[in-house]
A and B are shown apart, each in its own frame.
Chain A
Amino acid sequence: MSGPRPLTAVIFGAARHAGSYAPILAAQPGVTLRAIADDPMAPAWAQDDARRLGERLAIPVRNDVDDLLADPGVDLVVVCSEPARHAALATRALRVGKHVLVDKPMAVTLDEAADLVATTRTAPGRFTVMHRLFSPGIVRARAAVDAGHLGLLRAIDIEWLASDGLAGEAVEHPELVADPALSGGGELMNFLGYPIGYLRDLTGVEVAEVYAEVASLFFAPHQRHGVEDFGFLSLRLEHGVVATITVGRVPRGPAPGAVAATLRLIGSHGRMTIDESQPTLDVWTRTERRGSTIGGDAGPRTVTAAIAEFLRDIREERAPRVGANDGWAIAAAVDAAYRSAALGQPVAPRRA
């Protein structure tokens, strides 16, 4: 009996989401997770993180990225370094013919993003950047749009807020999201790609103008490094579609889980609201009320689906749901948000 085509994967860098992606990857049929690896030149803390993660998950840890890149037995590279090295590691892996899944953000500058996109044009491997388009609420909304139930979308309001998590629950070192040398920016760099991805997926049109009002309102590491932890954005898309995005890290977002993500869609023929934490099954005891999202938390579900679907893309030679051009458009919108915040005026995203 033949199962899915075997694929051998390695994870480059052990920052942030490596801890959650690795077990998902290892659990996929036909996938061997051979190693967690980093450059010998990677900072000591990164090597330490990799060693700890490897021990926890019983996966070999190596510091010979080049050897693994040269190994024809390695099919897939998952890049989970600190964001400032994402693009460079992804580009190296693509150039030697590997399939690449890079954690978000794909790149922290548009120059790097351009190099990466150019590389994908000639590289034989499949490429994707982590996204949340398989979140069940987004899938439902997209189906409603595709069925014509909403008519033409006219206005979209997305609120995407992470609750704290800086004491190790979600972020093992605050610098990974707050020190531009590692993170490339603040929480817009970290998170804004998700709601921009929602906008592009639901509307099918590109962002034409971004105005960003950002601030460092809540967290000392962000204030110390002079980066934003929060922002409100006003966007104009093609065809006069308008949108707002509320994004950032806050002490406690208005939802039970780690991420409070809600959308409000107004179309010419209908409207829709999406709350990624709903629907819930509520438990009422004598002393407390708690609830769980029916079907499970949206976060792990969308990440698991994104990984599983990318493996199918590789095996079936399909175009990934989020490819290099999508990655560019998202990076360009994030870049526009930063330029707008610095200028205090709306700006247009740069075109590829």
Chain B
Amino acid sequence: MTIPVAIIGAGAIAHEHLLAWRAIPGVDVRWVIDRHPERAASLAALAGAAWSVDPGVALADPAIRAVDICTSPDSHAALTIAAARGGKAIHLEKPAALSLADLDAMLASVRAAGVPFMVGQTARFQPVHLELADAIRRGEIGRPRALHVTWQAGHVWPNGWRAWQLDADRCGGHVVHNGVHAIDLAVWLLNARPVRVFARGFATFAPEMPTPDSFHLTVRFDDGSLALLEFAYALRGRGDAYRRIVAIGEDGSLSHSTEGEAGLVSDAARLPSAATAGAFDRQLAHFAAVVRGEAEPIVPPWQVRAALAGALAARRSAETGRAVAIAEAEA
């Protein structure tokens, strides 16, 4: 059964998604939508798809079965609700929304429409995390109680000072739009809800940048377990990357670091770690299986909500310098 797909948003992530969609048998990308016509046309040409600046065109196309929302986060709520009303299956880039009120409205409309819905928490689909989650499920370390995640990269967002990632009104700021990756990972692996978050951000290269390029956060969960999540876009070399994760359980620990991996050394290019590569392929193949009714989404709504609540609390903490209880973020 073919799944006709519309990609909404034609930025950097949409490009990655298109490459992944094209590798999945039975998926046909038919529309690319972007408010910038040249971007929409360019990605559509790559896909062999039609393009438009109006998402309504794709949502009104009865042939379209699923939409892949890759726009900046400030547009997620309206697009998700419109897609649900149009009866489309929805794959949504993270962060799902910029407020819990928006997310609740989105989840309600998805529930009412009965459409498949999944937030693209890509980190879950990276091989190291899939295998780490399996090891926890197999009971290798007993009950997991603490998680320490360190992600460092020499990364800058596309479009210089025009990047929406620098604009908290459009994306929640760095602590939200990337923090939600690591918080979601912790929610999933510890299978618990955040109850208190403390976040500390710092700007490495441009002291007056409007959102910190780097941050770390501590999370206390409702079952007493703890996480320390560190995210630094502070490495000097563009394309440099370092990752480490340690899960500590009642009977042992699991650990991984990219340091142990022999890699390409070249001035021209870097290769992604084999421990993290191929995540979009797995993520969208999983979503295709969800659309076909062959799988339940690995990212259930309660975890989407828990991760977003944690990320919004982290933003407030980074801005105020105070630890924030999730109950406060709910208010």
B-binding residues in A (CB < 8 A): 154-155, 157, 159, 161, 211, 213, 215, 217-218, 230-234, 236, 240, 242, 244, 246, 250-254, 264, 266, 268-271, 273, 344-346
A271 surroundings in chain B (CB, below 8 A): 152, 235-236, 240, 242
- 12 extra interchain contacts, Cβ-Cβ under 8 A, other than A213-B226, A251-B249? A159-B246, A211-B200, A211-B323, A240-B202, A251-B253, A252-B253, A254-B246, A254-B254, A264-B244, A266-B234, A270-B236, A345-B323
Q: Are A234 and B250 CB-contacts (below 8 A) given A273-B242, A345-B323? A: no
Q: Are A157 and B150 CB-contacts (below 8 A) given A244-B230, A273-B259? A: yes
Asked whether any CB of chain A lies closer than 8 Å to the CB of B248, the reply is yes
Within the assembled complex, what's the spacing in Å between the Cα atoms of A211 and B217? Answer: 10
Within the assembled complex, what's the spacing in Å between the Cα atoms of A74 and B55? Answer: 86
24 residue pairs A–B, Cβ–Cβ below 8 Å: A154-B202, A154-B234, A155-B214, A161-B248, A211-B200, A213-B218, A213-B220, A213-B226, A213-B228, A215-B145, A215-B220, A217-B145, A217-B226, A218-B250, A232-B146, A242-B200, A246-B228, A251-B251, A251-B252, A251-B253, A252-B251, A253-B253, A254-B254, A345-B322
Q: Are A344 and B250 CB-contacts (below 8 A) given A155-B234, A213-B220? A: no
Within the assembled complex, what's the spacing in Å between the Cα atoms of A254 and B147? Answer: 12
**Are B236 and A242 in contact, CB atoms less than 8 angstroms apart?**
no
B230-269 Cβ-contact flags toward A at 8 Å (1 or 0): 1010111000101010101111111100010000000000
**Are B146 and A230 in contact, CB atoms less than 8 angstroms apart?**
yes
Q: How far is the CB of A216 from chain B (nearest CB, A)?
A: 9
Q: How far is the CB of A276 from chain B (nearest CB, A)?
A: 14
Interface residues of B in 137-194 (CB under 8 A from A): 142, 145-146, 148, 150, 152
Within the assembled complex, what's the spacing in Å between the Cα atoms of A159 and B321? Answer: 23
Q: How far is the CB of B97 from chain A (nearest CB, A)?
A: 26
**Are A250 and B253 in contact, CB atoms less than 8 angstroms apart?**
yes
Give the nearest-CB partner of A235 in chain B: B200
Within the assembled complex, what's the spacing in Å between the Cα atoms of A268 and B253? Answer: 32
**Are B251 and A244 in contact, CB atoms less than 8 angstroms apart?**
no
Asked whether any CB of chain A lies closer than 8 Å to the CB of B286, the reply is no
Asked whether any CB of chain A lies closer than 8 Å to the CB of B225, the reply is yes
Q: How far is the CB of B314 from chain A (nearest CB, A)?
A: 11
**Are B148 and A159 in contact, CB atoms less than 8 angstroms apart?**
yes
**Are A232 and B226 in contact, CB atoms less than 8 angstroms apart?**
yes
Within the assembled complex, what's the spacing in Å between the Cα atoms of A213 and B240? Answer: 30
**Are A232 and B148 in contact, CB atoms less than 8 angstroms apart?**
yes
Q: How far is the CB of B171 from chain A (nearest CB, A)?
A: 22
Give the nearest-CB partner of A264 in chain B: B150
Interface residues of B in 265-324 (CB under 8 A from A): 321-323
Within the assembled complex, what's the spacing in Å between the Cα atoms of A218 and B253? Answer: 12
Q: How far is the CB of B32 from chain A (nearest CB, A)?
A: 38
Q: How far is the CB of B229 from chain A (nearest CB, A)?
A: 10
Asked whether any CB of chain A lies closer than 8 Å to the CB of B91, the reply is no
B253 surroundings in chain A (CB, below 8 A): 250-254
Q: How far is the CB of B1 from chain A (nearest CB, A)?
A: 45
**Are A217 and B225 in contact, CB atoms less than 8 angstroms apart?**
yes
A232 surroundings in chain B (CB, below 8 A): 146, 148, 218, 226-228
**Are B235 and A246 in contact, CB atoms less than 8 angstroms apart?**
no
Within the assembled complex, what's the spacing in Å between the Cα atoms of A92 and B250? Answer: 42
Give the nearest-CB partner of A150 in chain B: B236
Give the nearest-CB partner of A273 in chain B: B259
A154 surroundings in chain B (CB, below 8 A): 202, 204, 234
Give the nearest-CB partner of B217 in chain A: A234
B250 surroundings in chain A (CB, below 8 A): 217-218, 251
Interface residues of B in 196-218 (CB under 8 A from A): 196, 198, 200, 202, 204, 214, 216-218
Give the nearest-CB partner of B224 in chain A: A215
Q: How far is the CB of A259 from chain B (nearest CB, A)?
A: 13
Which of A154, A215, A232, A246 has the most chain B CB atoms inside 10 A of its CB?
A232
Q: How far is the CB of A67 from chain B (nearest CB, A)?
A: 48
Within the assembled complex, what's the spacing in Å between the Cα atoms of A346 and B152? Answer: 25
